[in-house]
Structure 1
Amino acid sequence: MSALCVSALCGSGARASDGPQPVALPPVIPVAKDVAYPGTVELAVTATDLDRHVLSVSERVPLPASVTEKGGDVVLLYPSWLPGHHSPGGPIAEVGGIGVKSGGKTVPWVRDTVNVNAFHIAVPAGAKDVDVSFQVLTPITPKMGRVVMTPEMVNVQWNMVALYPAGYFTRDIPYSVKLTLPHGWQYGTALRASGPAVGDTVTFGTVPFNTLVDSPVFSGQYFRRIELSKPGETPVALNVIADRPEWLAATAAQTDLHRALVVQAGLLFGTHHYDHYDFLLALTNELGGIGLEHHRSSENSGPPGYFTKWDKTFPVKDLLAHEYTHSWNGKFRRPADLWAPDFNTPQRGSMLWVYEGQTQYWGYVLAARAGLMTPAQTLDAIAMVAAVYDRRAGRTWRPLEDTTNDPIISQRAPLSWRSWQRSEDYYSEGQLVWLDADTLIREKTGGQKSLNDFAKAFFGVDPGSYVTRTYTFDDVVAALNGVVPYDWASFLRTRLDRPRLRAPLDGLTRGGYKLVYTETASPYLKAVEALKKARNFDFSLGFTVDGKGVLTNVEWGSPAWQAGLAADETIVAVNGVAFDADDLSDLITATKAPDKDPITLLVQARDRFRTVTISYHLGLRYPHLERVAGAPDVLGQILTPLK
């Protein structure tokens, strides 16, 4: 250092500069403790303002004796870290009109300047409770967020409409709830009413706050409840709401397939961890799409033709199986770092490749075993998964394990280059890892054991218990070794921790199949295209395009990418002729020969037009699974119903 002394740096303990210093943070929010809350919170929600999409809330929060005696700062929290979202996604921006009273007098409140989901209430001495009122101004259009209120249906998620006292585990805070619905509407939920409805208001039995948040409501003008269990069995029901009454017309055969799902899940896991289970299913073009797990229920949405166009909607038939599996994997058994004492403590998702990846695997398998999807349809679906992740460009730089951070990083916002950024690949690439594991177990035991044995041993413990049991990586490895001894830690770590050029496709090979490409799209892909109103050229030119010519995806490194195309641009014309997906398909086939002219696209990006040339001569390419000659059909065995 120079012999000259810089005054700001000289002397023991001197500051490094004369610049600003940080302002002290506000007091820390009380840490949650596992002690009983002294009283029951009374919550009332009115869900009748369908035109304005507003939920109205009133809440009475009893106060601890220590606060009543001296008064002081009471902190109420709006849930942020929501189960199943794996990120801080609570819609705090939708909360408005907050008012607080105690003993009929207005009480001031202030939002915490660091934790904006925390509200400080200056409670006067002698106050026994506080009355809080507010509205939830839910999205009016999909551009604003997920629509939860329409003229025909409403989805009440209790985390959206409740504040809870800080400083307690949510399982220790009892809530009594009233819900007022539009006149004549019926509802489905895992909650049970404490008595007959009074007018349009139903009162539910008192439950802990964590159970309340885990028990959303689907209500609709057009509603049907289908019992899936037999008399004397633990009740399971399918509660369906729809935009139109005719969409509720499930046939007896379709109902039986959903009953078979319950049977096959029971045979797989050996037991269950609920006293009743309610599938909530919305068949809609208006309510926002959802697939969200809960311990005793699940929120699901499907296309209007789920029942009435059964043969055309099979690509979504794994959804109920997926969310149902979560009752065991994710709700009863949960990764240790995804469990938290309340809904404002940060969570981590390092084991999502089990939580979601294995659930994705069982979703496909159980849908096939139940008959919701045929084996051929399921194999076509697996072929799509294998092809997408085998050519995912981002796998060359980003390991699968790192994608478990994506719910926090991007919070499921649209991505410019998903094939390079990778997004939440732990779902479907995780599915391939578990197929790999299943076939390896079968190979090493001569078909005597399988991942079925792991599922029963790992998720089927403590029959009837509702108490969450957490797990770690070592627990998963130990359970796999309990099925068949092997270096499972290395098996998993090499598939999770390292960038890999190719997807883990050994499960296909051991399963008796190989991934191939032909010029004909599978019935599964054609059905997906029809549902999404799009055409998939991802495996040839490298993009997916909707019916209006808008590029909804461009694969990184593909011919389209090399030509400079990007998502959200519009193909106006192909070789000088107005865009038509069928014509483009024919042209790709016609230009297979190397001496053919390249494909020329007129592309519009906002108010700019440009001509793009793609030199591609390999024809149409669509993924399929092809049987390996002489190899046993292990995949077929996996998809066969259990008995």
Structure 2
Amino acid sequence: MRKSAATFLLALALPFGALAQAPVQYTVAFPNAVHHEAQVTVVFAELPSGPLQVRMARSSPGRYALHEFAKNVYDVKATDSKGKALTVSRPDPYGWDVSGHDGTVRFTYTLFGDRTDGTYAGIDAIHAHLNMPATLAFARGLEQRPAEVKFETPGGWQVATQLRPDPAKGTYYAPHLQYLMDSPTSLGSQKVRSWQEQGRTIELNVLYEGTEAELDDYTAKTKKIVKEAAAVFGGLPEYDFGRYTFVVNYLPQTNSDGMEHRNSTSVTSNRQLRGDDVMNNLGTVSHEYFHSWNVERIRPRDLEPFDFERANMSNSLWFAEGFTQYYGDLIMRRAGVFTDDQYCQYTLSGVVGAMLNSPGAARYSPVQMSQQAPFVDAAAAIDPNNRGNTYLSYYYIGAANALALDLLLRQNHKTTLDAYMRAVWQQHGKEQQNYAPAKPYTLPDLQRILGEVSRDTAFAGQFFRQHILGHELPKFDELLAPAGLTVRRARAGQASLVSRLSFNPADSTASLGSTLVGSPLYQAGLDREDVLRKIDGQRLSSAKAVQELLAAHKPGDVVPVEYRTRGGIRTTQVTLAEDPTLEVVTNETAKKPVTKAMKKFRDDWLSSKAK
């Protein structure tokens, strides 16, 4: 019954005339998987006259930089419906024009892929993990056609994907290109865990060499995460085919990554499901699952629809990614994966410390940080940059502002960030059409809804001016105090250079990376690639030796530093600073008073919300 109902709804959702169009048909085979190759065949039928423009994506949903996936495609050939070879030309580095067809083009190529993560394709003798923009070519002008994909796999491999299976054909279905490209697929010997949650099927499809007991424990914790995420929004989304799939690869050759998708998420890591690794892996699961609301259905207008042929810039990644970063860890606490102390140690200390100690956060807004994504989100470049002084990830700057906003709403407006997220969901996420949000949001929408939820439009305007469009730093010591949490120096009274050193054992020197604005070495005129030879007359044999040297001093002491720069060997005087590292701890740990009001505030904030 569920399948036939979904099929009926699918027909209503498709654009007029789409059902009559010939689907784009893909076949993906692995005759040379041991050498990381796949053979891909695409059949484009019922084509209008004129050259067919076939392209590989240059970017990928959930990533914002260019990745130029055409670089891993070769042995390109094209024939018509009768097998006649067609002329293939290269108009640019990203695709091929096919001329002389008879209304059908059979386009074939070899794909190389040996990076298993959420962006690329990873293929070997035991598995294939395919991000579709890195795998499947498409044709301009055919973006609204449905697609059918057939995977010709070695024996023992099963398919994990959000694409809709068609068992009669042995294929997998996507309603259009946007959905196809948003559907990562894992092929291999899957370990499956599946359960029902609020009438939807949630499933884990896992490639993992560990024990069944480890996977069972991981599944139990994932179930709690799913419940806590649903509690924030008041229920689960209407997954398009009634199913949400965690596409999980935890093999040794895997790179750590998480990538959100509409009805699934790609989770990859070489970490095991035991010890502290479990917490790290679950953190990715929690973050990516929250995305099934925030960014997949609650979507910024400047990312809708996603353009596969250019870098995609958004003003709102501080919200789409940063608020998700905040909730990913908060849900871990509410699900009982973290204790209060662990939440302070692993989450709050990092977010607060990054926000308050980052030179970039003090000079640029979350909106401006979001606009930097095409240059930093797994983007590749070989020239040096000054991001240490100009940038703080939209994940951290967004999470810090989410934390501040949640605490402000709880303290001053008798509401919560949960209520705000539910309101955004109701107005800009719940209604969907053609597998996309019906009402993508803008920055003014987010400000307006904050005014509605807080019942204070002046507060909403001020918060956006100061903290979202501006770069005023939150007062975290004041904001966290009602929860019985303390912000303090982690190494109070300790002298520091506030710089990372790379030690050179051969000559007992240390090389510098970029020095941070305001740090002792920056103030003294040292910069990247300068080499420290002596501090206070002592050679730099190891990190331990430098720590011992600094321990003999206090902040404010002036020490001579001998260094080699591009202009030769110099000596200068450096004033040591107090180590700026911050930490957030419970008042219990800080041995400070904890009142009943503090305990209630903390419990209301951090306790489970799932029923």
Normalising to structure 2: TM-score of the pair? 0.80
1:452 Cα deviation from its structure 2 partner: 1.2
Structure 2 counterpart of 1:374, from 339, 355, 362: 339
Q: Percent identity?
A: 21
> Structure 1 325/386 Cα, relative in aligned 2: closer, same or farther at 3 Å?
same
1:596 Cα deviation from its structure 2 partner: 8.9
1:263 Cα deviation from its structure 2 partner: 0.9
Q: Which residue number in structure 2 is paired with residue 559 of structure 1?
A: 520
1:620 Cα deviation from its structure 2 partner: 8.3
Q: Which residue number in structure 2 is paired with residue 227 of structure 1?
A: 194
1:336 Cα deviation from its structure 2 partner: 0.8
Query: Deviations along 1:28-58, whole A, 9 cap, x unmatched?
Result: xxxxx98637211110112453443222211
Query: Deviations along 1:312-339, whole A, 9 cap, x unmatched?
Result: 6535532111111111111112111110
Q: Which residue number in structure 2 is paired with residue 400 of structure 1?
A: 366
Q: Which residue number in structure 1 is paired with residue 500 of structure 2?
A: 543
Contact 1:109–1:119 (CA<8 Å) still a contact in 2?
yes
**d(CA) in 1 for partners of 2:571, 2:28:** 55
**d(CA) in 1 for partners of 2:561, 2:212:** 46
**d(CA) in 1 for partners of 2:504, 2:37:** 34
1:155-166 residue pairs with structure 2 within 5 A? 155-166=129-140
**d(CA) in 2 for partners of 1:59, 1:551:** 51
Normalising to structure 1: TM-score of the pair? 0.77
Q: Which residue number in structure 1 is paired with residue 402 of structure 2?
A: 434
Q: Which residue number in structure 1 is paired with residue 576 of structure 2?
A: 616
Matched, 1:256 2:220: yes
* SS of 2:180 mapped into structure 1: helix
Q: Which residue number in structure 2 is paired with residue 138 of structure 1?
A: 113
Query: Deviations along 1:238-284, whole A, 9 cap, x unmatched?
Result: 22224xx2366516444321110111112111222312111123324
* SS of 1:321 mapped into structure 2: helix
Q: Which amino acid aligns with 1:543?
A: R
1:371 Cα deviation from its structure 2 partner: 2.2
Structure 1 counterpart of 2:301, from 313, 325, 336: 336
Matched, 1:518 2:490: yes
Q: Which residue number in structure 1 is paired with residue 269 of structure 2?
A: 302
Contact 1:264–1:366 (CA<8 Å) still a contact in 2?
yes
Contact 1:54–1:136 (CA<8 Å) still a contact in 2?
yes
Contact 1:214–1:294 (CA<8 Å) still a contact in 2?
yes
1:305-324 residue pairs with structure 2 within 5 A? 305=272, 307-309=273-275, 311=276, 314-315=279-280, 317-324=282-289
Q: Which residue number in structure 1 is paired with residue 325 of structure 2?
A: 360
Q: Which residue number in structure 1 is paired with residue 468 of structure 2?
A: 496
Contact 1:247–1:304 (CA<8 Å) still a contact in 2?
no
1:177 Cα deviation from its structure 2 partner: 0.6
Matched, 1:632 2:598: yes
1:137 Cα deviation from its structure 2 partner: 2.5
Ranges in structure 1 where 5+ consecutive residues have no aligned partner: 1-32, 521-536
Q: Which residue number in structure 2 is paired with residue 122 of structure 1?
A: 99
> Structure 1 617/361 Cα, relative in aligned 2: closer, same or farther at 3 Å?
closer
Query: Deviations along 1:115-163, whole A, 9 cap, x unmatched?
Result: x434322234xx1310101122335799xx9672355443111222222
Contact 2:496–2:576 (CA<8 Å) still a contact in 1?
no
Q: Which residue number in structure 1 is paired with residue 160 of structure 2?
A: 188
Q: Which residue number in structure 2 is paired with residue 211 of structure 1?
A: 179
* SS of 2:405 mapped into structure 1: helix
Q: How many correspondences in the alignment? A: 565
**d(CA) in 2 for partners of 1:91, 1:570:** 39
**d(CA) in 1 for partners of 2:155, 2:490:** 55
**d(CA) in 1 for partners of 2:586, 2:514:** 27
> Structure 1 141/513 Cα, relative in aligned 2: closer, same or farther at 3 Å?
closer
> Structure 1 422/316 Cα, relative in aligned 2: closer, same or farther at 3 Å?
farther
Q: Which residue number in structure 2 is paired with residue 100 of structure 1?
A: 78
1:347 Cα deviation from its structure 2 partner: 3.8
> Structure 1 596/614 Cα, relative in aligned 2: closer, same or farther at 3 Å?
closer
**d(CA) in 2 for partners of 1:50, 1:603:** 50
My pick for the range that moved more, 614-623 or 481-490, is 614-623
1:299 Cα deviation from its structure 2 partner: 1.2
Contact 2:388–2:516 (CA<8 Å) still a contact in 1?
yes
> Structure 1 85/482 Cα, relative in aligned 2: closer, same or farther at 3 Å?
same
Query: Deviations along 1:75-116, whole A, 9 cap, x unmatched?
Result: 223223421113443422222222111121111122334xx4
**d(CA) in 1 for partners of 2:373, 2:178:** 21
1:442 Cα deviation from its structure 2 partner: 1.6
Structure 2 counterpart of 1:422, from 365, 375, 391: 391
Contact 2:344–2:585 (CA<8 Å) still a contact in 1?
yes
My pick for the range that moved more, 233-242 or 146-155, is 146-155
**d(CA) in 2 for partners of 1:43, 1:285:** 29
My pick for the range that moved more, 388-397 or 281-290, is 281-290
Contact 1:258–1:372 (CA<8 Å) still a contact in 2?
no
Query: Deviations along 1:272-309, whole A, 9 cap, x unmatched?
Result: 2312111123324422332211011111223423x222
> Structure 1 352/517 Cα, relative in aligned 2: closer, same or farther at 3 Å?
same
Q: Which residue number in structure 2 is paired with residue 84 of structure 1?
A: 62
Query: Deviations along 1:565-609, whole A, 9 cap, x unmatched?
Result: 667889999943642x45544443343376696688x9999xx99
**d(CA) in 1 for partners of 2:534, 2:120:** 34
> Structure 1 184/315 Cα, relative in aligned 2: closer, same or farther at 3 Å?
closer
> Structure 1 540/265 Cα, relative in aligned 2: closer, same or farther at 3 Å?
farther
* SS of 1:178 mapped into structure 2: strand
Contact 1:193–1:203 (CA<8 Å) still a contact in 2?
yes
> Structure 1 316/228 Cα, relative in aligned 2: closer, same or farther at 3 Å?
same
**d(CA) in 1 for partners of 2:474, 2:270:** 31
Structure 1 counterpart of 2:28, from 45, 54, 62: 45
Contact 1:334–1:355 (CA<8 Å) still a contact in 2?
yes
Q: Which residue number in structure 1 is paired with residue 50 of structure 2?
A: 72
**d(CA) in 2 for partners of 1:538, 1:329:** 43
Q: Which residue number in structure 2 is paired with residue 29 of structure 1?
A: none
**d(CA) in 2 for partners of 1:150, 1:428:** 35
Q: Which amino acid aligns with 2:322?
A: G
Contact 1:417–1:554 (CA<8 Å) still a contact in 2?
no
1:542-621 residue pairs with structure 2 within 5 A? 542-543=499-500, 555-562=516-523, 575-576=538-539, 578-579=541-542, 581-592=543-554, 616=576, 618=578, 621=581
Q: Which amino acid aligns with 1:164?
A: F
> Structure 1 476/616 Cα, relative in aligned 2: closer, same or farther at 3 Å?
same
**d(CA) in 2 for partners of 1:300, 1:384:** 23
**d(CA) in 2 for partners of 1:44, 1:179:** 6
